[in-house]
């Protein structure tokens, strides 16, 4: 029993160490860019030995790949509650609820890796295309550009909500105000009639 308990505790400590390293990597990338995210720098920021860090991530590339996967999973998990991914209002509010290092990391990734790698962009584009097929969006609207504008506005609005707010409730309120105006503006220029 004692051996099993010790093994279980060791696994839990290992998972916690890995989480601490990934959190530190996200903060470091968001603050200083990807080039600053070496295994040694991340270990130092997390307060973990280099040896322990290299046990979890054999190379910088492995660390960055795990970070990308972890943050993508975290963001997509939180956005799954958003029924209409193509609706900028819901996307913006969901993004504003994210930890700011997660949001900054995703912005950095999209700027550096391109939209073709963005699951969010693919989902928004697909949702808007469905809305256009149903006649809710005017046929002449370029869906790929509309998705880009919607996503850019959502990320910008969420970033501004984080910057301007002092509390989580203020962040939510600012994101809501921004998203209402964004939706109103988009619908008067892009949506047919009073389609929702």
DSSP the chain: -HHHHHHHHHHHHHHHHHHHHHHHHHHHHHHH-GGG--HHHHHHHHT--HHHHHHH-SSHHHHHHHHHHHHHHHHHHHHTT-S-TT-HHHHHHHHHTS-HHHHHHHHHHHHHH-GGG-HHHHHHHHHHHHHHHTTSB-TTS-HHHHHHHHHHHHHHHHHHHHHH-SSHHHHHHHHHHHHHHHHHHHHHHHBSTT--
Rounded to the nearest angstrom, the gap between the alpha carbon of residue 41 and the centroid of all alpha carbons in its chain is 23
User: What is the residue whose two structure tokens read 């943050």?
Assistant: 71
In this predicted model, which residue has the larger pLDDT, 113 or 143? 143
- Please state the rounded mean pLDDT for residues 140-150: 88
Whether the per-residue pLDDT at 47 is higher than 80: the answer is: yes
pLDDT at 63: 93
Whether the per-residue pLDDT at 164 is higher than 80: the answer is: yes
Model confidence pLDDT, tens digit, residues 3-34: 455 445 555 677 899 999 998 998 888 788 88
In this predicted model, which residue has the larger pLDDT, 76 or 183? 183
Residue 56: pLDDT band (50, 70, 90) is very high
Do 193 and 122 fall into the same domain? yes
Residue 2: pLDDT band (50, 70, 90) is low
Percentage of the chain beyond pLDDT 70 is: 78
Do 107 and 195 fall into the same domain? yes
Rounded CA gap, 92 and 158, in Å?
Answer: 6
Do 45 and 88 fall into the same domain? no
Structurally, how many domains does the chain consist of? Answer: 2
Whether the per-residue pLDDT at 93 is higher than 60: the answer is: yes
In this predicted model, which residue has the larger pLDDT, 179 or 76? 179
* Domain end marker among 69, 101, 119: 69
Tokens of 4: 């099993």
Query: What CATH number did the domain enclosing 45 receive?
Result: 1.10.357.10
């Amino acid at each position: 029993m004692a051996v099993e308990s010790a093994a279980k505790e060791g696994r839990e400590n290992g998972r916690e160490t890995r989480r601490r390293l990934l959190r530190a990597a996200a903060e470091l990338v968001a603050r200083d860019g990807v080039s600053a995210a070496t295994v040694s720098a991340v270990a130092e920021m997390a307060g973990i030995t280099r040896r322990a860090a290299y046990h979890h991530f054999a190379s910088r590339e492995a660390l960055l790949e795990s970070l990308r996967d972890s943050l993508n999973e975290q963001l997509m998990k939180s956005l799954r509650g958003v029924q209409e991914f193509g609706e900028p209002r819901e996307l913006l509010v969901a993004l504003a609820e994210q930890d700011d290092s997660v949001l900054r990391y995703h912005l950095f990734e999209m700027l550096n890796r391109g939209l073709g790698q963005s699951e969010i962009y693919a989902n928004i584009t697909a949702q808007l295309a469905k809305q256009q097929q149903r006649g809710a969006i005017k046929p002449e609207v370029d869906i790929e550009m509309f998705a880009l504008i919607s996503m850019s506005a959502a990320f910008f609005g969420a970033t501004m909500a984080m910057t301007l707010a002092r509390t989580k409730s203020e962040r939510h309120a600012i994101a809501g105000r921004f998203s209402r105006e964004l939706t109103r503006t988009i619908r008067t220029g892009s949506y047919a009639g009073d389609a929702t």
